[in-house]
Amino acid sequence: MSKEALFNILNNHFNFSELKVLDLFSGTGNISYEFGSRGCEDITSIDGDMGCVNFIKKTAKEFDLNITAIKSDVFKFLEKHKASYDIIFADPPYGMEQKEFEKLIELVFESNLLDDEGMLIVEHSKHTKLNHLEHFSFEKNYGGSVFTFYELESEEETE
């Protein structure tokens, strides 16, 4: 339900076929596949587990999705990587420390990884509070999960 709601929000902001997406802490690639199935043709998935990376590569090939899966520590990747993206989605472990969530968000903006009209989305538990950080735009709650959205030019949500 939360994934469907997320993609309904994104569908109102973006044309998926034109997006360049970065999926951080991608796990088995669920979000990457969702973007790919909606016509996104430039997806990069980052995860620290080689088993997950191999699974994403295999699945992307099976379904003819243009997903590049990379084994890397997400923080090291963000510090060194220089490309920019329309959407950066991060689903870190819910048990990650608050300061690590904050570091993740700061790194994305300090490294200029988000395009001018782009959006960073961080999925986290309702117990983690991230709406006080710079570039915060809005958040959506779904049960115990929260999607917090950040943009370079934070706009008030219009109804």
pLDDT digits (tens, 9 = 90+) for 47-59: 999 999 999 999 9
Angle at 56 between CA 148 and CA 101, to 5 degrees: 25
Give Cβ neighbours of residue 13 (< 8 Å, ≥ 6 apart).
119
> Rounded to whole angstroms, how far apart are CA atoms 2 and 114?
23
Q: 77: closest CA among 114, 41, 108, 102?
A: 108
Three-class DSSP category at 79: helix
Q: Over 50: is that where the pLDDT of 1 sits?
A: yes
pLDDT at 148 over 50: yes
pLDDT in tens, 83-136: 999 999 999 998 899 999 999 999 999 999 999 999 999 999 999 999 999 999
Dig out the tokens for 98 from the structure: 């608050």
Query: How many residues appear in the chain?
Result: 159
Q: What is the pLDDT of residues 12-24, one digit of tens each?
A: 889 999 999 999 9
Checking if the pLDDT of 147 tops 70, the result is yes
Token pair recorded at residue 129:
């509070």
Task: Identify the three-state secondary structure at position 73.
Answer: coil
For residue range 27-84, list pLDDT tens digits in order. 999 999 999 999 999 999 999 999 999 999 999 999 999 999 999 999 999 999 989 9
Query: Distance between CA atoms of 159 and 148, rounded to whole angstroms?
Result: 18
